[in-house]
Amino acid sequence: MSRSRTLLHRLPKTLHPLTVTSGRRSFITTRSVFTTTSTSTTTSTTKTTTSRRTLSTTPLRTSTMSSSSEEPPEPTGTIATSGIELLTFGTPNGHKASILLEELKAAYGTDYTWQSVSIMKDTQKEPWFLRFSPNGRIPCIVDHDRGGFGVFEGAAILAYLVRKCDKEHRFSFPPDSLDASRVEQWVAWQHGGLGPMQGSFPFFADASFLGGSPSCTA
């Protein structure tokens, strides 16, 4: 089993990849795989083949959700008084911070507190959350050892955590090294390019299936 897959098994269940269905759209938080199925009909004079593209909703790992009556209540504020508190949900961006915190915990014994913030219920838009993440998106962390200092955006969170916790540079490079610059460049590439494109793909793909043509500007 790969190291990354092992880490996903170690994450709390509410942080595992989830498939969320809403109305006519099905969203998968870890990957979207498109398949093509074809049906053929034959008459005495013509043969017609039609194709239908469908969005596979098979997650990398399925988390069994209990009924809504058994789900824990949504957070209404932070709960820790010291250390790092992670506010996140089971999405690819949420996993970035979760995996690094697990690595730091295994390497240095750096413990942390976490809460699941449901983006399906817009908990991330509530005033208490916006204090730490003005953009109203997950993940964010709160450093209670520094007066409740909030850090939002995945790339900024990763950089903050390695600066504070990775003293032996097991998961990072010395700040003045060329390798540190190379890491910053690739993180910026993922954060500003690949990540947003993957996040927008289900919307545009779904619109095309429905015969629409969503407008966009460069």
Residue written as tokens 């407008």? 215
Residues contacting 33, CB < 8 A, separation 6+: 55, 56, 58
Q: What angle do CA 64, 97, 199 make, to 5 degrees?
A: 70
Q: What is the model's pTM?
A: 0.62
Could you tell me the CATH superfamily of domain 78-195?
A: Glutaredoxin (3.40.30.10)
User: What pLDDT, on the 0 to 100 scale, is given for residue 19?
Assistant: 35
Contact 17, 29 (CB under 8 A): yes
Residues contacting 75, CB < 8 A, separation 6+: 87, 115, 116, 117, 123
CA distances from 44 to 41, 48, 74 (A): 10, 11, 61
Where exactly are the structural domains of the chain?
A: 78-195
Span 38-90, pLDDT tens digits: 333 333 333 333 333 333 333 333 333 344 457 778 999 999 999 999 999 98
User: What pLDDT, on the 0 to 100 scale, is given for residue 113?
Assistant: 97
